[in-house]
Amino acid sequence: MDPTTRRSTPRLSRPDLRADLGAGITVAVMLVPQAMAYAMLAGLPPIVGLYASVAPLLVYAGLGTSRQLAVGPVAMVSLLTATGVGAIAASGTDQYLAYAVLLALMVGVIQIAMGLLRLGYLVNFLSHPVLSGFTSAAALIIGLNQLKHLLSVPIPRGHHVHTIVLEAVRGLPSANMATLAIGLGAIAALVAVKKWAPKVPGPLIAVGGATLAVWLFGLGGAGVKLVGDVPPGLPRPALPAWDPVAVRQLLPIALTISLVGFMESISVAKVFANKHGYRLKPDRELVGLGAANLASAAFGGYAVTGGFSRSAVKDQSGARTRLAGAITALGVAAALLFLTPLFQFMPNAVLSSIILVAVYGLVDVAEVRHLWKTDRVDLGLLALTFVATLGFGIEQGILAGVGASMIVFVARRTRPHFAVLGRLPGTEVYRNVNNHSDAMREPGVLALRFDAAFYYGNVTFLEDTLRRLEADEDGPLRAVILDAAAINSLDSSAVHALEGIARDYQARGIRLLFAGVKGPVRVVLERTGLDERLGKDNLVLTVCDAMDALGAPCPGETAANGGAA
């Protein structure tokens, strides 16, 4: 057996079983109201959230690699489901439900295909600043879309903040005060429990209290909207109807959910894997999540992934193996079999309050502060994604963020960092003269460090940089030293460019030397014969060796010329 597999699937002992049993039951108590709330966020009947919380958990327990990850309905995927399905069907219709189930099937197929093809690296295109900006904006959209349930006024589902706020303000005079009181009371209870008793299942407390209040005071007759009758029992397995037209329409959102869901899941799973000292297999995680989504579709559920809040509770409750997830699934199944009569008095407002408190943590203010100090370009990506998501919609926002990320990536690759080098007094060390005011330059010699692979995309940048730096010199150049220690590879365009640069310098009597050439780069130079054309005496170990070759003073003993770094 692969040792990595052994580490991710430890042998189950009696203490492990007790710990997993407690953790599984705890998460089930939390998941039942959350799953119903998130289904409502997705525009689906609350029972669908419970359907998505049984079979997917059992399947992931068998195929996943994370012991603490809690798979099931989450706020982000629920909102994306509402976005995609809401564009082609009216919420509350049978067609809407059928398309949501079909979307889960598509997500499952895409994720399994990505896992089998080892395409987990594709999530790297969702940079952290883009994901942070997207989730922060989506959290606002999610929260504002719950106002209709808190106020009990008809606010059309939307993805533009300004329109949602405007409709809420217009409907405020006709708000149902009993519904608002239930919602605000539940929010207060959830926040208080989270702050002062974090191990207590806050959602269960809020749902239980609100449901009891509705039953005792007959608030259903006072305009408080309730979940109502929920069919008891487990759903029968049946794959959704394959509608080619709907598949084409849902494909963009299916791809988005596949990537965003995996990104959210793997990020959470890594936190707990590092904490407990075991390794994940990203491609197998894709297969596990994909199979979980197929199982969800087969049993009438919608798209699922791993979420942070339940995973944190699962970890705090002592989960040691993936068996805890299977126990959670059995707990939800028990609720479907025996507890559905209690749901008829559950107010929609309390489910909305659970969503509001959950998504509050998605607004990542800390990341904004961090990027302000460390990387203003990434901060710009975050802000662009945030504004685009709020202003234009969920899909457009994430596409704008990914597109901008690619532009920044290409710009950084084609205009890499470089440094003019000078020697630190009394040493053989050469450093960036812009960062070290005492670094001394040799007159007539330009020493330059190029911090990137040299390829067709940045050939022109290097040529332009050399010309500009030469023009800025106080006098004529007699030599140029290229510190190649950070250059890992050359392509054919780079080879041709170096030949042209060398010919130009040779024609003008300027010597070109290369310091610290790495093995892979030296191999390319030898295969192309460029090392002969450059002159092997011009390939040296260090910048200090290059200075010695030019007859410039470099204190201390130096290595022999001609080596490779």
Tell me, what's the pLDDT at 367? 86
Mean pLDDT of the chain: 86
pLDDT of residue 158: 62
Residues 163 and 218 in one domain: yes
Three-state SS at 483: strand
Amino acid symbol at 288: G
CA dist., res. 408 & res. 393, Å (int): 22
Most confident of 286-300, 409-423, 520-534, 536-550: 286-300
Q: What's the mean pLDDT in 531-541?
A: 89
pLDDT at residue 11, as a whole number: 61
What's residue 415's pLDDT? Answer: 86
* Domain coverage including residue 288: 13-408
Query: Do both 357 and 431 map to the same domain?
Result: no
Question: What residues does 448 pair with on adjacent strands?
Answer: 420, 482
Res 1: pLDDT:
40
For the segment 63-85, the average pLDDT, to the nearest whole number, is 91
For residue 108, being part of any structural domain is answered with yes
369 with 468, same domain: the answer is no
Give per-residue burial for 7-31: e unless 16+ CB within 10 Å, then b.
ebeeeeeeebeebbbebbbbbbbbb
Return the sign of the alpha-carbon dihedral for residues 221, 222, 223, 227. negative
Q: Specify whether the CB–CB gap between 35 and 230 falls below 8 A.
A: no
What confidence tens digit (pLDDT) does each residue in 121-172 have?
A: 777 777 788 888 887 887 788 788 778 888 888 877 666 677 778 888 888 8
Confidence of residue 464 (pLDDT cuts 50, 70, 90): very high
228 and 278 belong to one structural domain: yes
- Positive/negative CA dihedral, 301, 305, 309, 312: positive
Q: For residues 503 and 512, what is the distance between their CA atoms, to the nearest angstrom?
A: 10
Q: What is the pLDDT of residue 199?
A: 72
Higher pLDDT, 154 or 2: 154
Residue 449, pLDDT above cutoff 50: yes
- Rounded distance between C-alpha atoms, residue 193 and residue 204, angstroms: 11
Report the pLDDT value the prediction gives residue 242, as an integer from 0 to 100. Answer: 87
CATH number at residue 541: 3.30.750.24
Check residue 58 and give its pLDDT: 96
How many structural domains compose the chain?
Answer: 2
Residue 12's pLDDT band, with cuts at 50, 70 and 90, is low
Residue where a domain terminates, one of 351, 386, 408: 408
pLDDT of residue 7: 44
Q: What are the φ/ψ torsions at residue 198 (nearest 5 degrees)?
A: -60, -20
Within a domain: 2: no
pTM (global) more than 0.95: no
pLDDT digits (tens, 9 = 90+) for 218-239: 887 788 888 877 788 898 898 8
Q: What would the DSSP string read from start to end of 377-411?
A: HHHHHHHHHHHHHHHH-HHHHHHHHHHHHHHHHHH
Of the residues 354, 379, 408, the one at which a domain ends: 408
Any domain includes 7:
no
Query: Which has the minimum average pLDDT: 275-279, 427-431, 524-528?
Result: 275-279
Lowest-confidence segment of 38-42, 120-124, 308-312, 428-432 by average pLDDT = 120-124
Confidence at residue 561, expressed as pLDDT on a 0 to 100 scale = 38
**Same domain, residue pair 114 and 175:** yes
Question: Residue 19: its pLDDT value, please?
Answer: 83
Residues 56 and 189 in one domain: yes
Please indicate, yes or no, whether residues 358 and 433 belong to a single structural domain of this protein: no
Closest CA to 408 of 381, 436, 372, 444: 381
Lookup result for tokens 């759903």: 235
pLDDT given for residue 446 in this prediction: 93
Region 67-84 average pLDDT: 90
Same-domain pairing of 497 and 447: yes
Domain assignment present for 565: no
Per the CB < 8 A criterion, the answer to whether 398 and 256 are in contact is: yes
Asked if residue 389 and residue 279 are part of one domain, the reply reads yes
| Last residue within a domain, chosen from 386, 408, 430 | 408
Confidence check: pLDDT of 348 > 70: yes
Tokens matching residue 286:
């894709």
Q: In the predicted model, what is the mean pLDDT of residues 281-293? A: 94
Tens digit of each residue's pLDDT (9 = 90 or more) over 310-341? 887 788 777 888 899 999 999 999 999 998 88
Residue 224 and residue 387 in contact, taking contact as beta carbons nearer than 8 Å: no
Residue 227 is assigned to a structural domain of this protein: yes
Does residue 274 lie in a domain region?
yes
pLDDT at 337: 92
Task: Note whether 387 and 522 are same-domain residues.
Answer: no
Query: What integer pLDDT is reported at residue 562 of this predicted model?
Result: 38
Q: Are 179 and 352 in contact (CB under 8 A)?
A: no
Residue 555 covered by a domain: no
Q: What is d(CA 151, CA 148) in angstroms, rounded to the nearest whole number?
A: 5
Query: Are residues 110 and 166 located together in one domain of the fold?
Result: yes
Q: pLDDT tens across 202-213, in order?
A: 787 888 898 899
Shared domain check, 294 and 196: yes
